[in-house]
Amino acid sequence: MFLIYIIHLIICYQLLVAFPTNFGRYDLFGNKNDDGNTRFFIIGDWGGIPFLPYKTPSEVAVANAMGKLGKKLNTSFQLALGDNFYYDGVQSINDPRFEHTFERVFSASSLQTPWYVLAGNHDHRGNVSAQIEYGKISKRWTFPDYFYTFSLWQSDKQKKLVDFVMLDTVILCGGGDLFDWEHTPLKGPENNFLAEVYWQWVEEQFRQSTAPYLIVSGHFPVYSVAEHGPTKCLVDRLRPLLHQYRATAYLCGHDHNLQHLADDLDGTHMNYFVVGAADIAENNHNHADDVPVDSLKYYWGGEVLLGGFGLIEVNNTQMTFSFIEHTERTLYQTIMKPRL
């Protein structure tokens, strides 16, 4: 029985390694700007509401700010970090939520660039495969699979600048059922075998990364001081890999605020950004004692606020991460250096 399990694991691992790496066709070359920077937005937990008008004032305000700022800065693409459609995802590729919560809200010309999407726990309450299929009929919705990779190349098209690894943290850790996540967070993934196969795939993508910057994105936080707090599964399994392979940053949503946390392990430094305030902004510090001492560098959230998002500007010498509120005002900035 044990031998059968090992053979099954090897076969599935080989299939997964072979298939997702074909997503190189989604690689891109950033818009060329006079200052040498390529710029892109990060947005999380942006998915409107499941009844008319299918959008919220906060989502609309964030979309407007992104549209205006994207035009000024000549941004190249967006990362969408899950909970794309509240509260139960979509049901099919023809679900009207694609039109009402996404297409009509993020309609600015500057946002007609690729959207690299991953799934959140609310998306898993619906049909995530329908979101994946939507990429076949949308010119900008890029969601080839639950896990995938892509790279940003330098303008001379000779060398990669950033490697991106997009994760489905529900498959890795569980939590697709909201009740189970809130009340039994240590329950684990629905399919332990599949999760383990994907963990092996994740490490392989980290090992293969050769770009000066490596950005890893998922929905659940590794660390967060807010309502949901740290995700033990990710602290135990993902955090050591991020440090081992010297990732530049981990981006996530899930908690509805903006946070920057930083942590050191075995002589390496890691940045964790929570970017989950595009639809709801909450002021919550329930898990302030559950993150490493002095790891929280910035926090923004509050019930009367109309939302915020992230912006990354990157070149050969540095990567600048900014939190932006709906007025286009920069709230916070930090700089990261190449890892290689």
pTM: 0.92
**What tens digit of pLDDT does each residue of 116-164 get?**
999 999 999 999 999 999 999 999 999 999 999 999 998 766 789 999 9
Q: Please state whether the peptide bond connecting residue 272 to the residue before it is cis, i.e. omega within 30 degrees of 0.
A: no
- The mean predicted confidence, pLDDT, of the chain is 90
Residues 197-217: tens digit of each pLDDT: 999 999 999 999 999 999 999
Whether 254 has a binding-site annotation, put simply, is yes
Look up residue 195 and give its amino acid.
Answer: A
Q: Which residues of 221-253 are buried (b: 16+ CB within 10 A; e: fewer)?
A: bbbbbbbbbbbebbbebbbebbbebebbbbbbb
Alpha-helical segments (H) within the chain: 2-18, 57-73, 97, 121-124, 128-134, 169-173, 178-183, 192-208, 232-244
The answer to the question of whether 121 is labelled as a binding residue is yes
Other CB atoms within 10 A of residue 285 CB: 14
CA atoms of 288 and 311, how far apart (whole Å): 25
CA distance 147 to 99: 24
Closest CA to 318 of 332, 301, 338: 338
Nearest to 223 by CA among 255, 176, 186: 255
Sorted by where each starts, the structural domains of the chain and their CATH numbers stand as 2-336 (3.60.21.10)
45 is in an annotated binding site: yes
Is 83 annotated as belonging to a binding site? yes
Is residue 219 annotated as involved in ligand binding?
Answer: yes
